[in-house]
Amino acid sequence: MKKMDKIIIEEAKDYIGDLFKNDSGGHDADHSLRVYNNALKIFNEEGNGDLEIISLAALLHDSDDHKLFETKDNANARRFLNDHDIDEEKIERICETINSVSFSQNRGRRPVTIEAMIVQDADRLDAIGAIGIARTFAFGGEHKRPLSSSVQHFYDKLLLLKDEMNTQTGKKLAQDRHMFMEEFLRRYFNEAELNENNG
């Protein structure tokens, strides 16, 4: 990565740090940094795609999430990219990649570019496994949802993600995380059942 690109990446990290400084529901800056690191890992294994698009889309992928912001047309992402003189064609490709990430808004649709496939996989990896479990209950707590509602989220979304990965690397990385969630749910229901029987 060129020196200028590295500067932009570091400034993107600062930007999301400020943007998500008040989040406590699992969509904080640390989430975006993990997605970025996942994306780099997948990119290095797959050996394909535009690294700058992948990096910036991964870091900015939640900057206009409809659950968190009321922006339109990727306004927060575009503001950062325009302020850093990214050319218009690349901005559009980054925004297209960002818009391919959301699970709820892309059901039944597979990303068409390798960049979008990588960033979507990177985001979905952070939704499963130990981190995914922690984020699910953090989000549920922030929105005052009962445990049963957070547990249902595993069946509505999280347990489906392993089979919806796009890249070979994403599929491989998802296997262990998926198995960990299954074990967690087994233990959760075993403990819940014991508590009910002894109540």
57-101 tens-digit pLDDT:
999 999 998 888 889 999 999 999 999 999 999 999 999 999 998
Query: Quick check: 29 pLDDT over 80?
Result: yes
Q: How far apart are CA 111 and CA 52, in angstroms?
A: 18
Q: What is the mean pLDDT of residues 41-69?
A: 94
Up-side HSE of residue 46: CA atoms within 13 Å toward CB?
26
Mean pLDDT of the chain: 91
Q: What is the mean pLDDT of residues 119-140?
A: 96
Q: How far apart are CA 143 and CA 80, in angstroms?
A: 29
152-166 tens-digit pLDDT:
999 999 999 999 999
Parent domain of 141? 3-198
Residues 160, 59, 158, CA angle at the centre, nearest 5°? Answer: 10
The enclosing domain of 134 has a CATH number of 1.10.3210.50
Predicted pLDDT of residue 167: 97
Predicted pLDDT of residue 195: 61
119 within 8 A of 35, measured Cβ to Cβ: yes
> Dihedral through CA 183, CA 187, CA 192, CA 194, nearest 10?
150
- Looking at the 3D structure of the chain, how many domains does it have? 1
